[in-house]
Structure 1
Amino acid sequence: MRILRTDEARFAELPDYPFSPHYLDVEPGLRMHYVDEGPRDSAPVLMLHGEPSWSYLYRHMIPLVAEAGHRVLAPDLVGFGKSDKPASVDDYSYERHIYWLSRWLKALDLKDITLVCQNWGSLLGLRLAAEHPDLFRRIIVGNGMLPTGEAPVPVVFSLLKAFATHSPWFPVSRIVQLGTERTMSRAEIAAYEAPFPSAEFKAGARAFPKLIPLSADDPASDANKAAWRVLEKWKKPFITCFSSGDPITRGGDRHMQRRIPGAHGQPHITLRGGHFLQEDSPDDFARIIIDACKSEMAA
């Protein structure tokens, strides 16, 4: 497996991203980067990004949650951000991403976790929580789901999959902007391009759309069905925080609210914004996390 590493200089002086880098090898020669802010002795809040973003997506939320007294961890998935990037699309699979994240989770000895996840962060995070339920205290999902291949996918996703597979041009920042209602600055757009100095660095981003299970015989379908069997008995707090303008995940919040016992009676909310609600409503999204942690402590 040929591994690429983005030059640290490309991340210099990014707007609103002052966080010190932390690194961990999740297998020999494969380094994962993560943000680690706030008091180390407090229960962790784990923020998982998706396609084709990185921990920069949470830059406005991380300080707010950390200042409220929580340890905030935001890893860059392998192939994204400051993490190493295997050079071939074939180097990536759903199971490999689960393996890499599980190694990172166990190496840091994280427990009592509040999971915050969106997009592929949900496909991975919900699997992690279902496979290691004793490590997680609550789950907050924003614009995400755990598909098993049994339900039809939105047309817009099929278009993205075809584009990622066949287009010689894969403009990461343009994709993020299309999923964001507000107009990002040039510096923010450059920050989303920073991890990818050339096309060969984008194998992980191109791989993700192909890895979503679209049929019952998909390699990840059985494992996701097993995760759902755990989630259907999940009684710890489960909160949905979806946005008003996302054509990809619309309706997924109600589906999870019906199926997951821990979702009953929770303060579910719909925020203003597109698919990347961390860009459109970061303060409100952070407030949901802070209030969820505070309410349980008070109880």
Structure 2
Amino acid sequence: MQVLSADLSRFADIPDYPFSENWVTVDLGDGHSGRMHYVDEGPKDAPTILLFHGEPSWSFLYRKMIPLLVDAGFRCLAPDLIGFGKSDKPDDIGFYSYDRHISWLGQWRDAVAPQDAGLFCQDWGGLLGLRLVGEAPERFQYVVASNTFLPTGGTPSPAFLAWRTFAKTSPDFQIGELLQRATATERSTEEVAAYDAPFPDEPSKAGARAFPALVPVEDGMDGIEQNKAAWKGLAGFSKPFLTLFGEDDPVTGGLAEPLIDNIAGADGQPHGMLSTCGHFCQEDRPIELAQGVIDMAKKAGVI
């Protein structure tokens, strides 16, 4: 297996992403290490918000929310998960696992933001972030979750099974076009190219191809027992917990309800379904999502 480094020249002309590069090295396992890239904007002593992306995006997804949150007084930390964005990319699909992603993201947080923080998470950013909340709820001040869940088995939908097969086997796995199809508003040619930038060839797409098959939506899969254990801590999370989901997302329709019904801090919050909002909600409704973060931070007494 090789650990690929991003060709940073491919990121030179992407729009609306003026953020400085920051890096931390993590232990990938099996004797490998990799560099993890992240955005760090706002005063270092400001209240911290962690912004976790999912599949197959990267921190570019948060370019519209970050300025709004910095202006509101936050320090914004947005990592590129291993296998995505500017971060290093193991080229072996089989090397990726749910637990390894948890380890890599946990190492990043311990190195960069060991203090208590708020969390905004979407897609796999929630499968990872909500798991971390459940495992260490005392480290999180509040949570805003969008188009995500923390699965513990069951029976996957035909639509998800089709997506899982497509991601693993399709010879035409164009990342930018996937983002285009999964937003309710139109992406520019330059924005589509920005989502393609991390993935110049097939080996660089191993992480993006691997992620759908790692979602523990069928009984017996890896991650189910860990998620069940994490749900105990997540259910008892009594600090502010808000869900803001997209009405136009066919992937996560109905998945807000288990979070609302089973997490203590979700009780009485102004949960919402956002119109003209697809799966990649940060593209479609960044203002409303940023306001949700601000509102929860105020309820938590952070700002």
Contact 1:117 1:141 (8 Å CA) reproduced: yes
2:237 matched to 1:234? yes
Structure-1-length-normalised TM-score: 0.97
2:26 aligns to what?
Answer: 26
Provide the residue aligned with 2:102 in structure 1: 98
Q: Judge which range, 200-209 or 230-239, deviates more.
A: 230-239
Other-structure match for 1:193? 196
Overall identity of the aligned pairs, in %: 49
Number of the residue aligned with 2:12: 12
Question: Matches of 2:179 and 2:70 in 1, distance apart?
Answer: 25
RMSD: 1.3
2:287 aligned residue: 283
Distance in structure 1 (CA, Å) of the matches to 2:235 and 2:33:
38
Question: What is residue 87 of structure 2 aligned with on the other side?
Answer: 83
Q: Any idea what the Cα deviations from partners look like across 1:88-133, whole Å, max 9, x if unmatched?
A: 1011000000000011111124322111000000000001111122
Q: Please give the secondary structure, in 1, of the residue aligned with 2:45.
A: coil
Residues in 2 aligned to 1:96 and 1:190: alpha-carbon distance in whole angstroms: 29
8 Å CA contact 1:77–1:83 kept in 2: the answer is yes
> Conserved in 1, the CA contact under 8 Å of 2:239 and 2:300?
no
- Conserved 8 A contact 1:154-1:247: no
The answer to whether the 8 A contact 1:154-1:248 is kept is no
Selected match of 2:149 from 145, 148, 154: 145
For 2:142 and 2:169, locate their aligned partners in 1 and report how far apart those are by CA, in whole Å. Answer: 39
Aligned 8 A contact 2:37 2:79 in 1: yes
1:294 aligns with 2:302: no
Structure 2 counterparts to residues 120-159 of structure 1, below 5 A = 120-150=124-154, 152-159=155-162
Output the amino acid matched with 1:34.
Y
Corresponding residue for residue 59 of structure 1: 63
1:233 Cα deviation (Å)?
1.4
Could you say which residue in structure 1 is the equivalent of 2:165?
Answer: 162
Consecutive unaligned residues of structure 2, counting only runs of 5 or more, are none
Aligned to 1:246: 249
Query: Which AA in structure 2 matches 1:45?
Result: I
Asked whether the equivalents of residues 52 and 79 of structure 2 are also in contact (C-alpha less than 8 Å), the reply is yes
- Give the whole-Å Cα distance in 1 for the aligned partners of 2:52 and 2:112: 15
Decide which moves more: 105-114 or 29-38.
105-114
1:2 aligned partner, one-letter code:
Q
